[in-house]
A and B are shown apart, each in its own frame.
Chain A
Amino acid sequence: MTQQGADRPAPPSPAMLDVEIWRGGQEGHYEDFRVPRDENQTVLDVVTYVQRHLAPALAYRFACRVGMCGSCAMTVNGRPRWTCRTHVARVIEGGRMRIAPLRNLPVIRDLVTDMSTFFDKWQAARGRFVGTEGADAGVGHEPARVRPASPERREADAAIECINCAVCYAACDVVSWREDYLGPAALNRAWAAWNDVRDDDRTGVLRAVAVAGGCLNCHTHQSCTEHCPVALSPTHSIAGLKRASMQAWLRGELKS
């Protein structure tokens, strides 16, 4: 960028922003609001303004406001996004913005969805760590040595920074077609767990995901990777699970 370009003043923003926000539950309607436009305003700022000044009963979720907690995801102009890190200037279309709850999750009220299924699927995909069990677990054992440069550690690193925002889950068409599909976030977590060489039941991860509605149902549309706000690639993780599942099945390891 030239010095001249860097000094160029930002184009003036209109004083007001027209916003449509979903009101109601699964059935409902969009309600129009006019919100003062500010520089560096995020979508979450807009929703917060509406709740504080125009519609106190508006229900929405947020916590950290800095893109770490994953609780403020919503559908903005048709795309799932983390609203606390999405600037209005980047997503506004024709001076308007339409904000809705996330797709593929039941709506509780307004912008709040019921995320129980999303987290239940994390459990179903066996994303938790399984350590060595028994009375002497951990006693007298040398700590596992995991080289940071090992292929497994690198794969786990690439998948581990998920903030559970459910943006990928809302973006996934397979989730919208099959209610039993585990979804990109749960499968991405399973891939991180499978690559943890300290885990005592790595084959158990594959048994959990190589089922009807599991990783083998992914169509590789890559919507999850396209929309992930922290630039993870669940598609890559799912491809890894497919490969590992297929090899385990051919070796006869998936029989329970």
Chain B
Amino acid sequence: MSPANFVLQRATALIMAPLVIAHLILIIAAVQGGLTGEEILARTRGSLGWGVFYGLFVLAAAVHAGIGLQTILREWTNLAKQPVTIASHGFMVLLIVLGGRAVYAVIA
């Protein structure tokens, strides 16, 4: 693993840890409070704060998972370097697209 990937993976883990905790508290509070989907969307739509919160979450998760997948493929398969890079980067882009779409749906 390169130092850049090592630092990126740990930095994204650091970013995700508080975001995951905040997200869990948020959904438990929302469900316990009896908010409906419409009521939740009314609060998130047009909110720059929630956009940044979940946008950062998606980016950190995508980078973290991409590097992790690269390590797993390199160690557990006989794939050459190039296919491993393509697969892990492709997975990273896929997560960004899917996650970005989800964030857009609750913000826009």
Binding site for B on A (CB under 8 A): 174, 177-178, 210-212, 214, 216-217, 242, 245-246, 249-250, 254
Q: Is the CB of A177 within 8 A of B6?
A: no
| Cβ-neighbour of B7 out of A211, A214, A217, A249 (below 8 A) | A249
Name 19 interchain pairs, CB-CB below 8 A, sorted by A. A174-B75, A177-B76, A210-B3, A211-B2, A212-B1, A212-B2, A214-B1, A216-B3, A216-B5, A216-B6, A217-B1, A217-B71, A242-B6, A245-B3, A245-B6, A246-B3, A246-B7, A249-B4, A254-B3
| Cβ-neighbour of A249 out of B3, B71, B75, B76 (below 8 A) | B3
Q: Say yes or no for B74: interface residue by CB 8 A criterion.
A: yes
Chain A positions within 8 Å of B7 at CB level:
246, 249-250
- Expressed in whole angstroms, the minimum distance between the Cβ of B67 and any Cβ of chain A is 11
**In chain B, what residue has the closest Cβ to A210?**
B3
Q: A246-B7, A249-B7, A250-B7 are in contact. Are A216 and B75 (CB under 8 A)?
A: no
Chain B positions within 8 Å of A249 at CB level:
3-4, 7
A-B residue pairs, 3 tightest by C-beta:
A249-B3, A177-B75, A216-B1
Q: Which chain B residues in 59-94 approach chain A with CB under 8 Å? A: 71, 74-76
The docked-state distance in angstroms from the alpha carbon of A254 to that of B6 is: 14
Q: Is the CB of B74 within 8 A of A178?
A: yes
Chain B positions within 8 Å of A210 at CB level:
3
- Expressed in whole angstroms, the minimum distance between the Cβ of A164 and any Cβ of chain B is 25
Chain A positions within 8 Å of B5 at CB level:
216
**In chain B, what residue has the closest Cβ to A173?**
B75
Q: Which chain B residues in 1-38 approach chain A with CB under 8 Å? A: 1-7, 10
The docked-state distance in angstroms from the alpha carbon of A178 to that of B1 is: 11
20 other contacts beyond A216-B2, A216-B5, A249-B4, with CB at 8 A cut-off?
A177-B75, A177-B76, A178-B75, A211-B2, A212-B1, A212-B2, A214-B1, A216-B3, A216-B6, A217-B1, A217-B71, A242-B6, A245-B6, A246-B6, A246-B7, A246-B10, A249-B3, A249-B7, A250-B7, A254-B3
The docked-state distance in angstroms from the alpha carbon of A217 to that of B10 is: 13
The docked-state distance in angstroms from the alpha carbon of A245 to that of B1 is: 12
Chain A positions within 8 Å of B4 at CB level:
249
- Expressed in whole angstroms, the minimum distance between the Cβ of A229 and any Cβ of chain B is 27
The docked-state distance in angstroms from the alpha carbon of A242 to that of B10 is: 12
The docked-state distance in angstroms from the alpha carbon of A177 to that of B71 is: 11
- Expressed in whole angstroms, the minimum distance between the Cβ of B15 and any Cβ of chain A is 16
Chain B positions within 8 Å of A246 at CB level:
3, 6-7, 10
- Expressed in whole angstroms, the minimum distance between the Cβ of B13 and any Cβ of chain A is 13
